[in-house]
């Protein structure tokens, strides 16, 4: 490990970056070093900008991916190498604003019940029933299921905060049946090595397989189940502030975007065309 890499890791740890963020930043810096075949500390601001232009227009990477690279370079040069902020002028890509894809309750029912493996079935049900991020689901411990209080404890979620989520009565039945078969000790959903939790990539594969078996075309990764949780609760009448707490959102604005995909408000308004007194369609010639 080079001294620069070690120093960057130390600085990210001091800033309490999540392991996934640290890996994403290191990956972006590795790409920069490989592109020029020299240490990043020897590069000029112009060369860094040329590399970002290469990512955007030659490799045609998504804006969100380029933003991660920009954040990584800002951290490397401003926080680790202590460059002056005026020296490094990196543009911020404008993010595309896409609404989350949401499945119907009937589609979710088909998806979470399609696995024949009790562990996979319980994994998908837990993610949807509590509206969890996949990282939160796989890091659940057996002791995090509080059946008497009917809640689930989420340890050190995004933003390094603990929170409690609802525990569905139906989910509790499923988890008890799963526990009797698998008898997990520490991790609720252990990996092949029972001392470690299930890998996120494995959880994604479980979701994609269940989606295929259920014959569902919409919905991207397993995070779709969290989108479904939020949207279905809003449609059931839960207020956004309560939903914000359940989802663990820092800002209410993040939660409010789900209002754009609910059926009961915008989609229930009649079209102005329906308010006109129009004649019947013309007969076929």
Which of 103, 102, 124 lies closest to 112, judged by CA?
Answer: 124
Q: Which of 158, 164, 209, 257 is catalytic?
A: 158
- Is 77 an annotated catalytic residue? no
CB-CB contact of 227 with 101 (8 Å): yes
Per the annotation, the verdict on 249 as an active-site residue is: yes
User: Exactly one of 79, 119, 153, 223 is catalytic; which is it?
Assistant: 223
Q: Which token pair is 217? A: 């075309």
Give the tokens for residue 109.
């029912």
The two three-digit tokens of residue 12, written as one number: 């990210």
User: Cα(105)–Cα(228) distance, rounded to whole angstroms?
Assistant: 8
- The catalytic residue among 133, 139, 163, 232 is 133
Q: Is 223 a catalytic residue?
A: yes
Q: Which tokens belong to 3? A: 């001294």
Element (H, E) at 161: strand 161-166
The active-site residue out of 25, 51, 178, 258 is: 258
Query: If DSSP codes are grouped into helix, strand and coil, which group holds residue 156?
Result: strand
Give Cα 262 distance to the centre of its chain.
20
128 is catalytic: no
Residues 6+ apart with CB under 8 A from 133: 157, 158, 223, 226
Q: Give catalytic status of residue 92 as yes or no.
A: no
Q: Is 97 a catalytic residue?
A: no
**Annotated catalytic residue, options 120, 226, 227, 232:** 226
Active-site residue set = 133, 158, 223, 226, 249, 258
């Amino acid at each position: 490990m080079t001294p620069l890499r070690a120093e960057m890791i130390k600085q990210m740890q001091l800033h309490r970056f999540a392991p996934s963020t640290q890996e994403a930043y290191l990956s972006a810096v590795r790409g920069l070093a490989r592109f020029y075949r020299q240490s990043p500390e020897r590069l000029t601001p112009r060369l860094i900008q040329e590399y970002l232009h290469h990512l955007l227009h030659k490799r045609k990477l998504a804006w969100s991916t380029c933003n991660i690279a920009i954040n990584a370079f800002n951290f490397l040069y401003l926080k680790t190498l202590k460059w002056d902020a005026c020296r490094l002028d990196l543009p911020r890509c404008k993010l595309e604003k896409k609404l989350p894809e949401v499945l119907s309750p009937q589609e979710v029912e088909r998806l979470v019940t399609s696995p024949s493996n009790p562990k996979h079935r319980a994994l998908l049900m837990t993610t949807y029933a509590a509206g969890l991020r996949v990282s939160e689901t796989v890091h659940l411990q057996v002791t995090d299921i509080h059946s008497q209080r009917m809640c689930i404890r989420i340890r050190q979620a995004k933003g390094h905060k603990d929170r409690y989520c609802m525990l569905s009565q139906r989910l509790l039945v499923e988890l008890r049946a799963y526990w009797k078969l698998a008898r997990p000790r520490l991790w609720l959903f252990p990996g092949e090595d029972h001392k470690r939790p299930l890998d996120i990539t494995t959880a994604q594969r479980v979701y994609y397989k269940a989606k295929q078996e259920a014959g569902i075309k919409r919905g991207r990764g397993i995070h779709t189940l969290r989108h479904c949780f939020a949207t279905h609760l809003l449609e059931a009448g839960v207020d956004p502030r309560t939903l914000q707490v359940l989802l663990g959102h820092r800002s209410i604005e993040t939660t409010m975007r789900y209002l754009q995909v609910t059926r009961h408000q915008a989609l229930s308004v009649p079209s102005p065309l329906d308010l006109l007194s129009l004649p019947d369609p013309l007969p076929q010639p």
